[in-house]
Structures are given as structure tokens and as C-alpha cells.
């Protein structure tokens, strides 16, 4: 098992990552806001994974062990906050909506050095105010602990387009539909269709960051048509896959 790197202070900086770059598991004594202004960022913890495009940021609380994965050309912005500064009162990683104003505040805060000036303090105060106003987004893909769900989820992670029913998948792993439905609710806090949709959306974000055509993404992620995929994607993110690709690449 790899040793978890301990970085006492969560850095505030801008960082460029090439596609596929991974940052191994580590933890900070401070809170951290992680935002990708270009590309798509995936963060993984023992509790699951979070994927954030350019309209989302990820709140990583102090002490949470997490690893990063870059998809597409990634411009990463990291904002470290002392443990005493928790504007949302969150103690688990959470995806947050990033308004145009919050985006500009994060970019400004991470692209200039901390000179201890009153202007810098005011910028930070406004950033914290905007964080308090940021709605949480249900983009968490939880990781199962029950052995039956681990086996089932492994199958679907390998092929998100697998459209077998829960009953059919249960036959392969030796568990009934009723047992698996109960485990999804008790272990993951969501139904099987909800989890599968989240998995497919996560996979779609990664493929879009890699410049995969929308129709191909729809096929690889298990939607019956591009229009069905666009409808689900728009309801989840508030914009189409095409406009999302422009945001991811613009930076």
C-alpha cells in the first residue's frame, strides 16, 4: 500500500497538468478548494470519486486523503484555507457550483502571490462570501463497501454502456434484485438507476475533456441516442455537451 503524503499547508497556486497526469494520495491540515478552469478534474477518496468541469469546484476538507487525475489539458487552481475557515461547514469532499464571479475570484486569488496587503485580504473575504452562496451539486459517485456491490460496480465501471438490468447483473454476481436494491440504498444512499446515471455522467465528462465527439460519448456511455444523452447532460449541468466542451477548452 502506497504511503499517503502529508502536506501540512494546502497551497494556494495555479498549476498546469498534461492529460492523464495523476497526483498521488495526500492530505493537508488545511481545507482546500480545487478548481479546474480548463480541462476536467477527478478527485478520488476512499468514499468515492468526484468529477468537476469548469463550472464546478471541489471542496476538500482538512485531513481528507485524496488523489487527483487530469483529463484534457488541465489548468488547476488551488485555494488553501486554514482549518478555522470553513464557510460551508462541510466535513466531506463536496462539488460546488462556480458562478462567473466566483470563477474570477478564484483565478485572481491563485494567480497572484500573497503579499499580505489589505487588497488581498478583501479579495479573500469576497471569495469566502461567494463560497457561502455556492449551491452544492450532486456529482459524487460513492464507492461501495458491500462485496456484492463492489463486484457489480466493477463491471459497470469497466463498461458504462452495459445496459443490463439489475436482475441480469445480479445473476452474474450471485445476488438477487431485492438484495442489490437494498444495498444500493443502504450502502450508497441512492438507487441503482441513480448510481448508473452518475457513473455515465462522470465517464462522459472525461471523454468530452479528451475531445471525443458527442455522438461517440453517448454511445460509449450507454445512452440510446445523442439526443437522449444531451437531455440528461443538460438537466445535470445546465448546458449542452457542446457548450461544455467549449468551456473546458477555453480556460
Instruction: Determine the Cα–Cα distance for residues 126 and 106; give it in Å rounded to an integer.
Output: 10
Give this prediction's pTM.
Answer: 0.72
Taking Cα atoms as reference points, which of 19, 89, 221 lies closest to residue 213? 221
> Are the C-beta atoms of 130 and 105 separated by less than 8 Å?
yes
Instruction: Determine the Cα–Cα distance for residues 90 and 31; give it in Å rounded to an integer.
Output: 10
Give the start-to-end residue ranges of the domains of the chain: 5-140, 145-250
Cβ neighbours, 10 Å, residue 8: 8
Instruction: Determine the Cα–Cα distance for residues 94 and 108; give it in Å rounded to an integer.
Output: 22
pLDDT tens readout for residues 183-215: 999 998 899 999 999 999 988 988 887 888 999
Q: Is 116 left (phi over 0), alpha (psi -120 to 50) or beta?
A: left
pLDDT at 251: 53
Instruction: Output the CA angle 152-156-158, nearest 5 degrees.
Output: 120
End-to-end CA separation in angstroms for the chain: 36
Instruction: Determine the Cα–Cα distance for residues 61 and 234; give it in Å rounded to an integer.
Output: 29
Q: What is the CATH number of domain 5-140?
A: 2.60.120.810
Burial of 55 (0-12, 13-18, 19+ CB in 10 A): middle
Instruction: Decide whether 5-140 matches 145-250 in CATH topology.
Output: no
Radius of gyration over alpha carbons of the chain, in Å? 19
Instruction: Determine the Cα–Cα distance for residues 208 and 40; give it in Å rounded to an integer.
Output: 9
pLDDT tens readout for residues 1-19: 357 788 777 778 888 888 8
Q: What is the CATH topology of the domain spanning 145-250?
A: Arc Repressor Mutant, subunit A (1.10.10)
pLDDT band at 138 (very low <50, low <70, confident <90, very high): low
Q: Which of helix, strand or coil describes residue 44? A: strand
> 24 vs 247, which has greater pLDDT?
24
pLDDT band at 243 (very low <50, low <70, confident <90, very high): confident
Amino acid at each position: 500500500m502506497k504511503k499517503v503524503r502529508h502536506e501540512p499547508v494546502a497551497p494556494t497556486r495555479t498549476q498546469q497538468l498534461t492529460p492523464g497526469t495523476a497526483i498521488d494520495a495526500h492530505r493537508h491540515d488545511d481545507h482546500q478548494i480545487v478548481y479546474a478552469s480548463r480541462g476536467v478534474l477527478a478527485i478520488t477518496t476512499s468514499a468515492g470519486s468526484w468529477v468537476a468541469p469548469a463550472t464546478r469546484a471541489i471542496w476538500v476538507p482538512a485531513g481528507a486523503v485524496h488523489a487527483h487525475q487530469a483529463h484534457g489539458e488541465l489548468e488547476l487552481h488551488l485555494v488553501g484555507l486554514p482549518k478555522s475557515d470553513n464557510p460551508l461547514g462541510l466535513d466531506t469532499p463536496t462539488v460546488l457550483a462556480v458562478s462567473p464571479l466566483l470563477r474570477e475570484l478564484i483565478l485572481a486569488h491563485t494567480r497572484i502571490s500573497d503579499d499580505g496587503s489589505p487588497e488581498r485580504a478583501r479579495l479573500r473575504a469576497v471569495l469566502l462570501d461567494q463560497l457561502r452562496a455556492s449551491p452544492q451539486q450532486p456529482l459524487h459517485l460513492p464507492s461501495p463497501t458491500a462485496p456484492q456491490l463492489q463486484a457489480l460496480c466493477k463491471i459497470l465501471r469497466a463498461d458504462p454502456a452495459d445496459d443490463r438490468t439489475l436482475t441480469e447483473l445480479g445473476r452474474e454476481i450471485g445476488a438477487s434484485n431485492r438484495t442489490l436494491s437494498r444495498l444500493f440504498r443502504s450502502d450508497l444512499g441512492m438507487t441503482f438507476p441513480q448510481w448508473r446515471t452518475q457513473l455515465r455522467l462522470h465517464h462522459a465528462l472525461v471523454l468530452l475533456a479528451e475531445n471525443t465527439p458527442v455522438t461517440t460519448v453517448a454511445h460509449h456511455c450507454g445512452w440510446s441516442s445523442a439526443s437522449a444523452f444531451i437531455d440528461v447532460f443538460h438537466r445535470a449541468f445546465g448546458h449542452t455537451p457542446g457548450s461544455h466542451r467549449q468551456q473546458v477548452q477555453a480556460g
